Structure 1
Amino acid sequence: MFHFINRFTVTGDPAEFERILGEINAYMSAQPGFRRHRLYRSAKDPQIYVETAEWDSAELHRMAIGGDAFQAGVKKVRAHATAEPAPFTVVRENSVAAP
């Protein structure tokens, strides 16, 4: 499993930023190996967003971000936010057991 986390600081219109990320997510979710995407907005600072994505592998993620649709979306996002993207590895995971 490959985990990707991206922190955004929105400098433009938050609604437009969210709309563009929605377009990117629609593209990414149709790519092989995509598992899950979540977008969080800080309750403390509404200009800060964090997105997390899970993929079957780093290679499948790399292939997806190489697509023209993804690159066009990233260009649009840059007009509204700065990004701090990075791959992560899970160190510890905890969940509630099903009854």
Structure 2
Amino acid sequence: MSEDGQRNTDDGAVTFVNRFTVRALPDEFERTFADTAEFLGKQPGFLRYTLLKHVDDQHSYVNIAYWRDLESLRNALSQPDFAPHAEALRSLSTSDPNLYTLAQSFTADP
């Protein structure tokens, strides 16, 4: 960590950020997403995820998922058992998926 509290890293970890626009009832999307997250949570290399719901737009969500490395994520998404999960989410929403690596991180002092 540098003196200003910022951390640069190149450990291979990736962050998958997916923005969803939901066409269905939000509760239905959240249940379907939870099923998908349960499946992905059992895959090697999965670390954690956070599903965020927009404050003013109940049909707008962002998923942030952390993976140990890109290969783990790609392997998980290529599993035949993932296809029904992807299809279920596509039937309820549109999405804009992107991959990121950590450039900097900062945590406030307690």
- Aligned equivalent of 1:79: 91
Q: Distance in 1 between matches of 2:104 and 2:59?
A: 29
Q: Secondary structure at the match of 1:82?
A: strand
Distance (Å, rounded) in 2 between the aligned partners of 1:96 and 1:23: 34
Identify the residue that residue 81 of structure 2 maps to in structure 1.
69
Paired amino acid for 2:45: G
Give the TM-score normalised by structure 1. Answer: 0.92
In the alignment, residue 23 of structure 1 is paired with which amino acid?
D
Partner Cα separation in structure 2 for residue 22 and residue 96 of structure 1? 31
1:60 Cα deviation from its structure 2 partner:
0.5
| Runs of 5+ unmatched residues, structure 1 | none
Find the counterpart in structure 1 of residue 5 from structure 2: none
Q: Distance in 2 between matches of 1:97 and 1:28?
A: 33
Q: Report matched runs for 1:1-99 at 5 Å.
A: 1-97=13-109
Q: How far apart are the structure 2 equivalents of 1:52 and 1:12?
A: 21
d(CA) in 2 for partners of 1:94 and 1:85? Answer: 24
Runs of 5+ unmatched residues, structure 2: 1-12
Query: Displacement of 1:89 after TM fit?
Result: 2.1
TM-score, normalised to structure 2's length?
0.84
Per the TM alignment, residue 61 of structure 1 is displaced from its structure 2 partner at its CA by 0.4
Matches of 1:73 and 1:10 in 2, distance apart? 15
Between Structure 1 and Structure 2, whose CA radius of gyration is higher? 2
The CA RMSD measured in Å over matched residues stands at 1.2
Counterpart of 2:85, as a letter, is G
Deviation beyond 3 Å, 4+ runs, structure 1? none
- The aligned amino acid for 1:83 is S
Count of aligned residue pairs for this structure pair: 98
